[in-house]
Amino acid sequence: MTSQASAVQTPKTFQPRIFSGIQPSGGLTLGNYLGALKRFVEKQEEGIETIYCLVDMHAITVWQDPAKLRQQTREGAAAFIAAGIDPKRSILFNQSQVSAHAELAWIFNCVARMGWMSRMTQWKDKTAGKNAEAASLGLFAYPALMAADILAYHATMVPVGEDQKQHLELTRDIAIKFNNDYGVDFFPVVEPLIEGAATRVMSLRDGTRKMSKSDPSDQSRINLTDDAETIAAKIRKAKTDPDPLPATVEGLKDRPEARNLVNIYSALSGQSVEAVISEFAGAQFGTFKPRLVDLAVAALSPITNEMNRLMADPAEIDRILGDGADRADAIARPILEQVYDITGMIRSRRK
């Protein structure tokens, strides 16, 4: 039997609002820039309300060194700002400073089903061949916290990569079940934003694997902290095949390394993949790679320099994150209080 929170006025339409978060795991790469940060800046420029979060509570689903976690959270914030996020136009904060995330996650732990969590591909991947009973409960249940991250702000859109689509679908399921369980139209059914050629940037050493900071080879990735000389060297040494670039996009189908470099060029230049192929059809990589070097250095060197400047003043980064947390809490707290009303909680100590 479902209950009806008839005294609560629930919204029927939702203000367009984008939420996205990045785990402060350190070692941000070109993949993070093209797949996330660059897109975040583009959304900020569209005039939609944008909320961006360093999800430090997600990070501790596996053990983190506390000093490194603080450093990596500040580095993540510096990367957001250096990439073009304006903390005055967007809300930028770290998750643990807004308690609504953890509070709503508990509510969603009681809405979500065990079967939903056990089917999560990332849970299966991270525990495959291992003793799943030794994994943290947080690692198993963290999709409920991810749902809380999004729905605490009534976000309507979330930029996601292909590997996060399943978790967003679970967020939608939780919103729908909550609304149905309590007979309300309270949480929006959030929509994914998946756009562009470089949604998923692949390794420079293996075009079938995602670019990752955890890859043992530093040559597999371009780090946002790499200087211009290092960026150039890594692109020059990037794995390719012996054939020239094809005359059509279809010609990239079975050439993962070539496709990856073309996608990166497309994303950095703002050109379509078709336009890049048209420009470089028949060119050897000895011609293409120097052009890609120029693009990458022009895009990333200013970001690296600005990150270094910001990281020299951690107190200022902390101030920016604190201000963002205050603004985030001003949105999330009233929504959470309505959730408590809907679910029947007595809240006599409200401020």
Q: Is 25 annotated as a binding residue?
A: yes
Q: Based on the residue annotation, tell me whether 165 is a catalytic residue of this protein.
A: no
Q: Based on the residue annotation, tell me whether 130 is a catalytic residue of this protein.
A: no
Out of 38, 43, 210, 234, which one is annotated catalytic? 210
Out of 126, 165, 177, 239, which one is annotated catalytic? 126
Q: Helix (H, G, I), strand (E, B), or coil: what is residue 253?
A: coil
Q: Is 323 annotated as a binding residue?
A: no
Out of 68, 165, 177, 213, which one is annotated catalytic? 213
Q: Quick check: 149 and 93 in contact, CB under 8 A? A: no
Q: Is 161 annotated as a binding residue?
A: yes
Q: Is 213 annotated as a binding residue?
A: yes
Q: Is 210 annotated as a binding residue?
A: yes
Q: Is 251 annotated as a binding residue?
A: no
Q: How many CB atoms lie within 10 A of CB 195?
A: 11
Q: Based on the residue annotation, tell me whether 213 is a catalytic residue of this protein.
A: yes
Tokens of 342: 């809907």
Q: Is 163 annotated as a binding residue?
A: yes
Which one, of 242, 241, 306, 231, lies nearest residue 264 by Cα? 231
Q: Is 90 annotated as a binding residue?
A: no
With tokens 């308690």, the residue in question is 99
3-state DSSP of 24-93: CCCCCEHHHHHHHHHHHHHHHHCCCEEEEEECHHHHCCCCCCHHHHHHHHHHHHHHHHHHCCCCCCCEEE
Tokens of 61: 């689903």
Q: Is 23 annotated as a binding residue?
A: yes
Q: Is 219 annotated as a binding residue?
A: no
**Among all residues, which ones are annotated catalytic?**
126, 210, 213
Residue numbering of the annotated binding site: 23-25, 31-32, 149, 161-163, 201, 210-214
Residue numbering of the annotated binding site for L-tryptophan: 149
Residue numbering of the annotated binding site for ATP: 23-25, 31-32, 161-163, 201, 210-214
